[in-house]
Amino acid sequence: MIGIAAAWIVILLLGGGLLLDRVLVSAVTRNFDNQLEYVLTAMIASAEIGPDGEIFLNRPLGDQRFYEPNSGAYWQISGQDKPDFYSRSLWDRRLEPNFDYDDTDVYIVESNQFSDEPLRIVGRTIILPDSDTKWSFQVASAKESLTAQIAEIRAILINSFLLLALGLIGMAALQTLYGLWPLRKIRKAISEMRTGQQRRVSEPMPNEVTPMVEELNQLLEHNEKQAEEARRHAGNLAHALKTPLTVIMNSATAKADDLADTVIRESGVMRRQVDHHLARARAVGRRGHAHSMARVWPSLQAVERAVGRLYKHVRIDIDGDKEASVSVERQDLDEMIGNLVENAAKYGGGSVFITVEPGDDFVDLLIEDDGRGIPEEERQRIFDRGVRLDTGKPGTGLGLAIVRDVAEIYEGTVSLEESEDLGGLLVRLRLPRSFLAP
pLDDT of residue 68: 92
Residue 407 host element (H or E): helix 399-409
Q: With a cut of 60, say whether residue 377 has pLDDT above it.
A: yes
Contact status, residue 45 vs residue 15, Cβ threshold 8 Å: no
pLDDT of residue 158: 94
pLDDT of residue 387: 45
Reported as a pLDDT band with limits 50, 70 and 90, residue 286 is low
Global pTM reads: 0.48
CATH number, span 2-149: 3.30.450
3-state secondary structure of 56: strand
The least confident of 25-34, 187-196, 237-246, 278-287 is 278-287
In this predicted model, what pLDDT tens digit does every residue of 146-170 receive, in sequence order? 999 999 999 999 999 999 999 999 9
3-state secondary structure of 344: helix
Query: In the chain, what percentage of residues exceed pLDDT 90?
Result: 35
Q: With a cut of 90, say whether residue 280 has pLDDT above it.
A: no
pLDDT of residue 390: 46
What pairing do the DSSP bridges indicate for beta strands 413-418 and 362-369? unpaired
Q: With a cut of 70, say whether residue 258 has pLDDT above it.
A: yes
- Smallest Cα–Cα separation from 301: which of 315, 284, 318? 318
Domain ranges across the chain = 2-149, 210-286, 294-432
Contact status, residue 138 vs residue 95, Cβ threshold 8 Å: yes
* Exposure of 322 in the CB half-sphere (CA atoms within 13 A): 2
Q: With a cut of 80, say whether residue 269 has pLDDT above it.
A: no
pLDDT of residue 388: 43
Q: Which one has a higher pLDDT value, 258 or 379? A: 258
For residue 351, give Cα distances in angstroms to 4, 103, 247, 342, 354.
72, 115, 41, 12, 10
3-state secondary structure of 401: helix
Measured CA angle at 297 (ends 296, 298), to 5 deg: 100
3-state secondary structure of 289: coil
d(CA 360, CA 65): 94
CATH number, span 294-432: 3.30.565.10
Q: Which long-range contacts (CB under 8 A, 24 or more apart) does 88-97 make?
A: 89/65, 95/121, 95/138, 95/140, 97/136, 97/138
The least confident of 17-26, 159-168, 281-290, 328-337 is 281-290
pLDDT of residue 395: 43
What are the beta bridge partners of residue 49?
55
